[in-house]
Structure 1
Amino acid sequence: MLLAAPFRTIAVVIAAFVVLAVVPGTGSADTGRFVWPLDPRPAVSRQFDPPEQNWLPGHRGVDLDARAGQTVVAAGDGVIAFAGVVAGKPVVSVDHEGGLRTTYEPVEASVAAGRRVTRGDPIGTVVAGHEGCASSACLHWGLRRGRDDYLDPLPLVERPVIRLLPV
């Protein structure tokens, strides 16, 4: 059954408000909770590829094209959870509201654990030599909810393309 024109209009307006309320920001400093960790906006050289099971191999984040020495910023407001070396790689982790944690590697930290940061605050610089990176330097950017729930970080900074189809 087709909706009458006034009801269709109301439904479209309600749908638009819902989308604007629940979709993460675009990454610009004024519109979203999160921003890109590199400026200018980097190309994604390797996508998120989660394993079927947590113990299996996969790519638990995205690789962003960078250059050695490039400044890395906190993607969102939070507290530095870790700044140090893990398995021989320099890593910075930021805890955000809602149980989210973003991770950045290889990054030479300019911050210490416990420091509060605001989105866009510098947290370190990219170190060359990220394994699997096609260019001389990449930033591996990860996102977790809780201990074991790895998520794709790109929805934090990209809005999905929404196309409304005719009735």
Structure 2
Amino acid sequence: MSGQDFPAAGDPWAVPQPRLSWPLSPDPVITQYFDAPEMPYGPGHRGVDLAAVPGQEVLAADAGVVVFAGLVAGRPVISVDHDGGLRTTYEPVAAKVTAGDQVFRGQVLGTVLAGHPGCAIAACLHWGVRRGDEYVDPLSLTGEVGEYRLKPWGGDP
């Protein structure tokens, strides 16, 4: 199932399931966080960098269609379109998929390559997400980071 899975009506304690799953297993250490640019072409970090090891499998964060698997500025990149207008991007990855392939959540897309610019360790996976033309923090869709609000309690303290 793709999209956000909501609990059954009437269950006040149920929590919605994350929209996207992690592209690495086990859940990775984050080496660089998302930093939204102030202007469309301004500086920022349009994704997150995840600690990996060279050759580690990269997994599709949700079901979708591979729309690109090739080089961008000399780096190997995979992009997958998902329901709801989301596009996930993974780099640097040696692809095991090609453009047009249907993929399922958790399917191996390829393997991490060493040499991601700015990565202080042997290998990092840069994972980006866009909704239309807007870059989105991938962590906001994994259930890892979010805004939480407490509802007023109706009883005595």
TM-score under structure 1 normalisation? Answer: 0.79
Q: Does 1:110 align with 2:96?
A: yes
| Aligned 8 A contact 1:94 1:102 in 2 | yes
1:12-161 → structure 2 map (5 Å cutoff): 16=12, 20=15, 23-25=16-18, 33-146=19-132, 148-159=133-144, 160=146
Q: Tell me if the contact between 1:50 and 1:150 (Cα under 8 Å) persists in the aligned partners.
A: yes
Deviations 1:79-129 (A, max 9, x none): 001000000000000000011000000001000000000000000000101
* RMSD of aligned residue pairs (Cα, Å): 2.2
Aligned AA (1:37): P
The percent of aligned pairs where both chains have the same amino acid is 57
* Structure 1 gap ranges (5+): 1-12, 26-32
Displacement of 1:163 in angstroms is: 6.5
1:134 is displaced (CA, Å) by 1.3
Q: Which has the larger radius of gyration?
A: 1
Q: Which has the higher helix share?
A: 1
Letter in 2 for 1:137: A
TM-score by length of 2: 0.83
Contact persistence 1:24–1:155 (CA under 8 A): no
Query: Partners in 2 of 1:85 and 1:24 — Cα distance?
Result: 33
- State the SS of the aligned residue for 1:130: coil
Would the aligned equivalents of 1:75 and 1:120 in 2 still touch at CA under 8 Å?
yes
State how far apart, in whole Å, the 2-side matches of 1:72 and 1:83 are: 13
CA distance in 2, matches of 1:58, 1:108: 25
**8 A contact 1:48–1:59 mirrored in 2:** yes
How many correspondences in the alignment? Answer: 144
SS in 2 for 1:79: strand
